[in-house]
């Protein structure tokens, strides 16, 4: 279809929405991003972007800019909660392949938003969307500030609690998965030198796990700490929590975990929620993208990466189709099986990290210990080696 002059509205300026805005505007579309916040603000946290996501950054012409801000880890090391190494999976060994990167979220957001601005994308902050309606030949978006706009096509990239999803797709509400995650950053000079190498470390214990990796040239250490819980009463999904609560949950774990947690001043707690799968992601000229249509547990570090993949396929499918509705259906057809597979794989990882019975956990760790890094990594070839910018 002719992208030039077509008016696209993207709701949400997260990784998925910004990547979609860049990809669509590069095809000639007029794109406006509507964001409820009054600026691009980001709670300090890290983000791992695996080679399949880097492939999209490359196709969007952003690889060099992103590379300057990325941390390049050597390996993912799995350990038990006492610190004993279970296995070490080598990353970034083959220079010919796309790398595995880690970012401060704010850095990746800045790369995408600068690219969007350069490509002519218009930003409307402080625009909380309250409704999305089919309106004759176009789609109408209503805002909390009592305004509305009309677009040819609307992309709902408004995250886990998507208004587009509930307004237009009658989606089900999210369900608590029985897991919460604390996230935060610690300045590396606060922990003993050499405590953390340039690796992702995953410490696994009964009903809990702890992930850490360095960012920004090793000056900052990112952590994610996950605990299984029965109830989640709070309405907020990223609420401040006390560092004492976090330390209590991981007390008795190995020195690196306890020493790092000893330096945490403030932290945020996420309830991890799941949505039943949607029957369809697109109706007419409206489609969902990223967490709004396929939220996933963070245990495969793929949520934002899938948003990048969605964005590239969305723009490609639209360009190759005769009209918007056909293009959005093609986008959905090309994405659904893969994102569903990733959602399921992420859920399985949670189970594997949190094994409760010591005997069973010991056996599982022994199997991992005796498998080679190549063999274990090859299990993820379907994920990391898939390049949506080359596949049709």
Ligand X SMILES: Cc1cc2nc3c(=O)[nH]c(=O)nc-3n(C[C@H](O)[C@H](O)[C@H](O)COP(=O)(O)OP(=O)(O)OC[C@H]3O[C@@H](n4cnc5c(N)ncnc54)[C@H](O)[C@@H]3O)c2cc1C
- Please give the residue ranges that form the binding site for ligand X (CB under 6 A): 11-17, 34-37, 47-48, 128-129, 157-160, 163, 181, 183, 224, 270, 290-291, 298, 301-305, 307
**Nearer residue to ligand X within complex by CB, 181 or 345:** 181
Q: Say if residues 369 and 84 touch (Cβ distance below 8 Å).
A: no
Kindly tell me which of 153 and 365 has the beta carbon lying closer to ligand X: 153
Given the residues 100, 213, 353, 384, select the one marked as catalytic: 213
Q: Does 384 participate in catalysis according to the annotation?
A: no
Tell me the pairing of strands 75-80 and 199-205: parallel
Give the closest residue to 107 by CA, choosing from 200, 9, 219, 271.
Answer: 219
Q: Shortest approach of ligand X to residue 11 CB, angstroms?
A: 5
How would DSSP label each residue in 95-136? TTSPPPEEEEHHHHHHHHHHHHHHTT-EEE-S--EEEEEEET
Q: Closer CB to ligand X, residue 107 or residue 291?
A: 291
- Shortest Cβ 179–ligand X spacing (Å): 10
If we measure between CA atoms, which residue out of 307, 223, 211, 216 comes closest to residue 268?
A: 223
Residue 126 or 374: the one with the smaller Cβ distance to ligand X is: 126
Q: CA 254 to CA 202: how far, in whole Å?
A: 12
The tokens of 202 are what? 């995953």
Cβ 46 to ligand X shortest distance, Å: 7
Min dist CB 335 to ligand X, Å, is 13
- What is the helix (H) or strand (E) element at residue 325, kind and residue range? helix 324-353
DSSP string, 232-294: ---S-SSEEE-HHHHHHHTTTS-HHHHHHHTT---EEEEEEEE-PPPS-SEETTEEE-GGGTS
Q: What is the nearest approach in angstroms of ligand X to the Cβ of residue 360?
A: 26
C-alpha 16: how far from chain center:
8
Report the residue number, 128 or 336, with the smaller CB distance to ligand X.
Answer: 128
Catalytic positions, please? 213
């Amino acid at each position: 279809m002719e992208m030039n002059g077509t008016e696209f509205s993207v709701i949400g300026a997260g990784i998925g929405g910004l990547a979609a805005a860049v990809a669509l505007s590069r095809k000639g579309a007029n794109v406006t991003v509507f964001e409820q916040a009054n600026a691009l603000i980001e709670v300090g946290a890290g983000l791992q972007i695996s080679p399949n996501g880097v492939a999209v950054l490359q196709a969007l012409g952003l690889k060099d800019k992103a590379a300057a801000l990325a941390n390049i880890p050597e390996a993912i090391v799995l350990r038990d909660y006492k610190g004993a190494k279970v296995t070490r999976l080598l990353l970034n060994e083959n220079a010919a392949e796309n790398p595995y990167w880690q970012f401060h979220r704010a850095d990746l957001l800045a790369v995408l938003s600068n690219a969007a601005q350069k490509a002519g994308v218009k930003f409307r902050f402080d625009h909380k969307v309250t409704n999305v309606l089919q309106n004759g030949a176009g789609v109408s978006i209503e805002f909390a500030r009592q305004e509305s706009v009309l677009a040819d096509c609307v992309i709902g990239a408004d995250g886990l609690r998507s208004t587009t999803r509930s307004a237009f797709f009658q989606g089900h509400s999210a369900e608590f998965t029985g897991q919460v995650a604390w996230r935060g950053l610690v300045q590396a000079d606060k922990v003993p030198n050499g405590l953390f190498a340039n690796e992702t470390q995953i410490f696994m214990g009964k009903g809990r796990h702890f992930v850490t990796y360095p960012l920004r040239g090793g000056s900052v250490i990112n952590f994610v700490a996950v605990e299984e819980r029965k109830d989640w009463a709070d309405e907020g999904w990223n609420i401040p929590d006390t560092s004492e609560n976090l330390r209590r949950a991981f007390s008795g774990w190995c020195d690196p975990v306890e020493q790092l947690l000893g330096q945490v001043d403030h932290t945020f707690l996420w309830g991890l929620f799941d949505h039943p799968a949607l029957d369809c992601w697109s109706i007419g000229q409206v489609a969902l993208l990223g967490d709004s249509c396929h939220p996933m547990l963070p245990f495969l570090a793929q949520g934002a990466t899938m948003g990048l993949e969605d964005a590239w396929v969305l723009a490609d499918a639209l360009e190759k189709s005769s009209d918007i509705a056909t293009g959005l259906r093609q986008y959905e057809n090309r994405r659904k099986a893969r994102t569903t597979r990733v959602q399921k794989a992420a859920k399985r990882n949670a189970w594997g990290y949190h094994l409760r019975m010591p005997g069973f956990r010991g056996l599982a760790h022994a199997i991992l210990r005796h498998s080679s890094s190549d063999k274990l990594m090859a299990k993820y070839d379907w994920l990391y080696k898939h390049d949506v910018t080359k596949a049709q």
